Structure 1
Amino acid sequence: MAGFLTTHVLDTARGCPAQGLTIALYRIEGGERRHLRTLVTNDDGRTDEQILPASEFRIGDYELVFQAGDYLRATGQAGDAPLFIDEVPIRFGMNEATHYHVPLLLSPYGYSTYRGS
């Protein structure tokens, strides 16, 4: 099986998928971050394509940066500035060629993630 990466963002405050949230993917090598791509979530809170397709998959360290603040402002959940949560960086390693799924559960005052399936 070839490796690939997907994500899913759920707005736990509103109880729905987080549509229109921008996500950047970086590869971490030698302490340096290299931008690979930027995608936006669809109406199901997922990206229309794999965030890291099998054709580009490599074992290593990566970082997803979720632009939560922009999403929270767009949905009227931001509250007063400065925001409690703005960018959400999640750094993780992929050590085998398989499907990795890194979801984000988001609200204006908290978030969580896990290795999904």
Structure 2
Amino acid sequence: MAGEPRLTTHVLDTMHGHPARGMAIDLHMVHGDHTHLIAQSYTNADGRLDAPLLAGPSFQLGAYELHFHVGQYFERLGVEIEMPFLEIVPIRFVLSEKSHYHVPLLVSPFAYSTYRGS
């Protein structure tokens, strides 16, 4: 995967069949048994972020966790669920080489999937 090392993401709302606009995303760096917040952002109309979460000098190898605020997103859309299932979807992964990492999320109120994209 060529180009500047960076971390990007996007979110697709599989319930409605379109990008998840306005979803809050937090990026945490993992240190053993604890994490610390290093970036926060919101998805744009394409379900993407306007800039990489990590790039250039901020891109460091190590373990990270993305927190996708799924419950808040569906609540804002007016999706009525008697007993909400997903609130925050955490995805823990490791940046092990200086390359482009893309971590997309496909989500509904009751399920999600992810993969290392390109």
State the TM bucket, normalised to the shorter chain: over 0.9
Measure the CA separation in 1 of the matches of 2:117 and 2:56: 17
Measure the CA separation in 2 of the matches of 1:45 and 1:88: 16
Deviation at 1:63, TM superposition (A): 0.2
Q: Show the counterpart of 1:50.
A: 52
Deviation at 1:54, TM superposition (A): 2.3
Deviation at 1:78, TM superposition (A): 4.3
Matched length: 116
TM-score (norm 2): 0.93
C-alpha contact 1:69 1:78 (8 A) present in aligned 2: no
Percent identity between the aligned chains? Answer: 47
After superposition, the C-alpha distances for 1:25-68 in whole angstroms (9 at most, x for unaligned) are: 00012322011011000000001110112220111000000000
Measure the CA separation in 2 of the matches of 1:95 and 1:50: 17
Q: Show the counterpart of 1:9.
A: 11
Q: Show the counterpart of 2:90.
A: 89
Q: Show the counterpart of 1:41.
A: 43
- 4+ runs of 1 displaced by more than 6 Å? none
Measure the CA separation in 1 of the matches of 2:115 and 2:56: 21
Measure the CA separation in 1 of the matches of 2:80 and 2:52: 28
TM-score (norm 1): 0.94
Q: 5+ residue gaps in structure 2?
A: none
Q: Which residues of 2 match residues 13-24 of structure 1 at below 5 A?
A: 13-24=15-26
